[in-house]
A and B are shown apart, each in its own frame.
Chain A
Amino acid sequence: MAKLNLINKIFNAGPLILLYFLSISEIDTNLEKVFEIFSFNLPIIIIYFWILKRPSVLGTGHIFFAGLINDVVMGYPLGISSLSYLIVCFFSNYVRNKSVNTTIASDWFTFFIALIFANLLFFSLLNNFSDVVISYTKIGYNTFFTLFLFPILWLIFSFYQANFIGGQDA
């Protein structure tokens, strides 16, 4: 029984571990070597999905901290990724409060709005308060691919949730 509990805890911690791993490790979702314009923002998809479906697996404090680590590793001003992640978190929370049953299509649409706001805040802060120059084309591609890949990752995470974690939070 105790062993089963431990396994459940590990499965429950899966999304959080993935979020931290993406923030701290060298592994990234910038696949320029495969396809020159291909990059997407996996942490934002993870945060949006899990806060929407199962908020108990991702604490807001962890999301904030993962954002700070991401800033350190990537060389962005401290707090900017945290802010972007928390905006996504807020949208996801809001959608969860307002809706009873969600579908992949409705999640995709609300994710689009969350992504636009999060990216808008991220890049406008970076543009106005930092010396870092960023290509707007790349931002566009990144946003597009993040949005494009959302349904695929939605299905993967839903499968993970159904088979390894269990139903929605009360």
Chain B
Amino acid sequence: MSVSRDDFSIAFRSALLQRGGAQKFSILSLIILAIFIFFLDIYGFVVVKKARGIINDVVFRITYIVSSPLRFIPNASTNLSSHFNLKEENEKLRQVIENYKSLDLNLEYLTNENKNLRKVLDAEKIVNEKSIVLAKVLVDRNSPFLKSIIINKGTQVGIKKGMPVTQDNYLIGRIVETNYLSSRVLLLNDLNSRIPVTLGNDSAQAILTGSGTKNPKLEYLPEDYVFEDEITIFASGKDGIFIPGTPIGKTTLNSGKYDNEIKLFVDPNQLSFVTVNLIRLNKEKF
């Protein structure tokens, strides 16, 4: 019995303290270090916050560079699958289609170029407005627990925590973390997101709550409120953060998992450029 206990304690100690070969540090020392860093970060010392800001900026840039080849793969696979489907459907007309396909590709290319140029023109218009900052999405890693994106603008251009983020004037989320050159945007479908909204002809008030799935849901609707399909939801601005009247999405019935689900105007998984509104509204005083 005592031998078995000795065995346990030797194996336990060895697992915690063993070093050698690739194991340059013992697990115990690294666990202590990790706990130390965790509490430094949690209790938000100024030096740690600044250091974290710098680390964030560097890591986000590296992530963007490392991930850039991966962005081409989904496009390539989509093109490939559509190509094969076309072949199956039109086996007899393959030759003709091949000729047209080359023309089609040219047309697609020109159309996309046209669209992009239009976007640039719009973007320039937006950038000229002092209160709005156009930002590119650096990282949109899809965590199973948190729904957020990283954008390439930070405190350098005046972005602060809480500022609303939009795409094509539709609300997509708010800033929750700022660094000098980058910021984190909490998306509307994140479990931590709560936004006061208004809907319907009678301007019913509710809270838009992220559910962790693609579509957020409405909570705290007025009693006896009848939830209808295709009603547009707007930010109410009651929190003093979001601009009143910013469109968010439409109510949808039969969407599946939850009642009172909202279909967002902007797909949170398809963001590439967003705008940050630098205006900070004051809370309404009654």
CA distance A82 to B23 in the complex (A): 15
Instruction: Name B's A-contacting residues (CB within 8 A).
Output: 7, 10-12, 14-16, 18, 21-27, 30-31, 33-42, 52, 55-56, 59-60, 62-63, 66-67, 70-71, 139-146, 148, 176-177, 184, 191-192, 212-214, 257, 269
On chain A, the number of residues with a Cβ less than 8 Å from chain B's Cβ atoms is 58
Interface residues of A in 27-81 (CB under 8 A from B): 27-28, 30, 32-33, 36, 39, 55-64, 67-69, 72-80
CA distance A72 to B176 in the complex (A): 14
CA distance A72 to B52 in the complex (A): 8
Which of B41, B71, B141, B212 meets A78, CB within 8 Å?
B41
**Chain A interface main SS type:** helix
Do B70 and A75 touch across chains, with their CB atoms under 8 A apart?
Answer: no
The 8 A-B pairs of least Cβ separation, nearest first, read A79-B38, A39-B144, A26-B67, A79-B37, A93-B15, A94-B15, A59-B22, A97-B11
Interface residues of A in 9-41 (CB under 8 A from B): 21, 24-28, 30, 32-33, 36, 39
CA distance A99 to B11 in the complex (A): 10
Do B27 and A93 touch across chains, with their CB atoms under 8 A apart?
Answer: yes
A16: nearest chain-B partner, CB-CB:
B22
Q: Does A105 contact B (CB under 8 A)?
A: no
Q: How far is the CB of A170 from chain B (nearest CB, A)?
A: 10
The interface residues of chain B lying within 8 Å CB-to-CB of A36 are: 213, 257
CA distance A32 to B212 in the complex (A): 11
A68: nearest chain-B partner, CB-CB:
B37
Do B143 and A132 touch across chains, with their CB atoms under 8 A apart?
Answer: no
CA distance A72 to B7 in the complex (A): 39
Interface string of A96-112 (1 = CB under 8 A from B): 11100000000000000
The interface residues of chain A lying within 8 Å CB-to-CB of B10 are: 97
CA distance A39 to B207 in the complex (A): 28
The interface residues of chain A lying within 8 Å CB-to-CB of B62 are: 24
List, sorted by A's number, 28 A–B pairs whose CB atoms are closer than 8 Å: A24-B62, A26-B63, A26-B67, A27-B67, A27-B70, A28-B141, A28-B142, A30-B144, A36-B213, A59-B24, A60-B22, A60-B25, A61-B30, A64-B33, A69-B59, A75-B143, A75-B148, A76-B146, A83-B31, A83-B35, A91-B15, A93-B14, A93-B15, A93-B16, A93-B27, A96-B15, A130-B42, A135-B191
Do A64 and B30 touch across chains, with their CB atoms under 8 A apart?
Answer: yes
Not counting A27-B70, A56-B21, A90-B15, a sample of 18 additional A-B residue pairs whose C-beta atoms are within 8 angstroms of each other reads A21-B66, A25-B63, A26-B63, A26-B66, A30-B142, A30-B144, A33-B269, A55-B21, A59-B24, A61-B25, A64-B34, A74-B143, A75-B176, A78-B37, A80-B38, A82-B34, A83-B34, A87-B31
Do A86 and B31 touch across chains, with their CB atoms under 8 A apart?
Answer: yes
Of A75, A89, A90, A129, the most chain B CB neighbours within 10 A belong to A75
Of B33, B66, B143, B177, the most chain A CB neighbours within 10 A belong to B143
Q: How far is the CB of B37 from chain A (nearest CB, A)?
A: 4
Of A21, A24, A138, the most chain B CB neighbours within 10 A belong to A24
CA distance A68 to B63 in the complex (A): 14
Do A131 and B192 touch across chains, with their CB atoms under 8 A apart?
Answer: yes
Which of B38, B67, B192 meets A25, CB within 8 Å?
B67
Q: How far is the CB of A23 from chain B (nearest CB, A)?
A: 9
Q: How far is the CB of B29 from chain A (nearest CB, A)?
A: 9
Q: A32-B142, A78-B52, A135-B191 are in contact. Are A55 and B11 (CB under 8 A)?
A: no
Q: Does A125 contact B (CB under 8 A)?
A: yes
CA distance A133 to B3 in the complex (A): 46
CA distance A91 to B10 in the complex (A): 14
Q: How far is the CB of B149 from chain A (nearest CB, A)?
A: 10
A83: nearest chain-B partner, CB-CB:
B34
Q: Does A134 contact B (CB under 8 A)?
A: yes
Q: How far is the CB of B21 from chain A (nearest CB, A)?
A: 5
B146: nearest chain-A partner, CB-CB:
A75
The interface residues of chain B lying within 8 Å CB-to-CB of A67 are: 34
Do A24 and B59 touch across chains, with their CB atoms under 8 A apart?
Answer: yes
